[in-house]
């Protein structure tokens, strides 16, 4: 999802340091210092317009959340939505490409990673760009705490199967797998994403929850 170029996006993001982490590398190992309360940290990679992060931050004030988005034009839209809510002290966002996620978070800094409706990159030659490709998983393994969870939701069966196979190359435990989230008991706790709202009427939503057996070196 790349929105049309918005020159005003960067300036607007800079005007809101209360939500936007402008220089993420500076906080490597110290992201908890950005929040008023030191509590578990969960991140969404590819947050898009932010519906999920807003919903989660409202529902779980006892957890800190950071939404990560590659494009500032998309983050700009998310920030506008965030600013319409009552203040969310447990939410921050940042513009960053997850290809280099290991450069911002230190070993074991993150409690849980959410990947929601990640771009499926359907062409075979692009499979390395999928956010569950081996090289991304190596980094997730490193930044996640021992027993830290990875949650994936998608409507794309091919991406789901690819993700299972990639994860299966690691020592990982699958804690839960659903082939139709919206007709399962897990739906009770589900916070919808923008894409989920849009695409769930067309077919099943696949979800998996997993954790690495040990942290990467
Ligand atoms: C299909 S959208 C889904 C948005 C949202 N998670 C949802 O479920 O509604 C995928 C988002 O991931 C972002 N994205 C893709 N690759 C990324 C990367 N390497 N690092 C950070 N964000 C990325 C895209 O810019 C896009 O906004």
pLDDT tens by residue, 87-120: 999 999 999 999 999 999 999 999 999 999 999 9
Tokens 């989230």 sit on residue: 181
Instruction: Kindly tell me if the per-residue pLDDT of 153 is higher than 70.
Output: yes
Residue 98 near ligand 1, beta carbon < 6 Å: yes
58 is a domain residue: yes
| Burial class for 181, CB neighbours closer than 10 Å (0-12, 13-18, 19+) | buried
* Whether residue 94 has its Cβ less than 6 Å from ligand 1: no
CB-CB contact of 130 with 96 (8 Å): no
Strands 206-212, 144-154: pairing kind: antiparallel
Predicted local distance difference test score (pLDDT) of residue 217: 61
Q: What is the CATH number of the domain that holds 52?
A: 3.40.50.150
Does a structural domain hold residue 154? yes
Residue 69 is assigned to a structural domain of this protein? yes
In short, whether 116's Cβ falls inside 6 Å of ligand 1 is yes
pLDDT in tens, 12-47: 999 999 999 999 999 999 999 999 999 999 999 999
Determine, yes or no, domain membership for 3: no
Its domain, for residue 31, covers: 9-212
Q: 119: CA distance to ligand 1 center in Å?
A: 6
Instruction: Give residue 198 CA to ligand 1 midpoint distance, Å.
Output: 15
Q: Tell whether 217 is covered by a domain.
A: no
Cα of 49 vs centre of ligand 1, distance in Å, is: 9
Q: How many domains, in total, are found in the chain?
A: 1
- Percent of the chain clearing pLDDT 90 (strictly above): 94
For the beta carbon of residue 182, count every other beta carbon within 10 angstroms: 16
Per-residue tokens: 193: 């994403």
- Residue 6: predicted pLDDT: 74
- Do residues 84 and 49 lie in contact, with contact meaning Cβ atoms separated by under 8 Å? no
User: pLDDT-derived band of residue 3, with 50, 70 and 90 as boundaries?
Assistant: very low
Q: What burial class does residue 16 get, using C-beta atoms within 10 Å of its C-beta: 0-12 exposed, 13-18 middle, 19+ buried?
A: middle
Determine if ligand 1 sits within 6 Å of the CB of residue 99.
yes
pLDDT of the residue at 16: 97
7 — pLDDT class (breaks 50, 70, 90): confident
pTM: 0.96
């Amino acid at each position: 999802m790349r929105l049309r170029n918005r020159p005003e996006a960067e300036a607007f993001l800079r005007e809101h340091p209360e939500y936007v982490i402008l220089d993420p590398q500076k906080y490597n190992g110290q992201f908890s210092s950005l929040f008023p309360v030191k509590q578990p940290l969960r991140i969404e990679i590819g947050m898009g317009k932010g519906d999920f992060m807003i919903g989660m931050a409202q529902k779980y004030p006892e957890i800190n959340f950071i939404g990560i988005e590659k494009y500032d034009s998309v983050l700009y839209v998310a920030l506008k939505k965030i600013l319409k809510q009552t203040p969310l002290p447990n939410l921050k966002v940042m513009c960053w490409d997850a290809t280099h996620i290991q450069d911002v978070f230190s070993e074991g800094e993150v409690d849980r990673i959410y990947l929601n409706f990640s771009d499926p990159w359907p062409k075979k030659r692009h499979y390395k760009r999928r956010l569950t490709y081996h090289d991304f998983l190596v980094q997730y393994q490193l930044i996640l705490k021992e027993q830290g969870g990875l949650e994936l939701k998608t409507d794309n069966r091919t991406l789901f199967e690819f993700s299972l196979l990639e994860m299966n190359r690691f020592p990982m435990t699958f804690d839960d797998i659903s082939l139709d989230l919206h007709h399962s008991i897990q739906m009770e706790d589900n916070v919808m994403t923008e894409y989920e709202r849009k695409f769930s009427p067309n077919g099943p939503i696949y979800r998996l929850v997993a954790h690495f057996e040990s942290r990467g070196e």
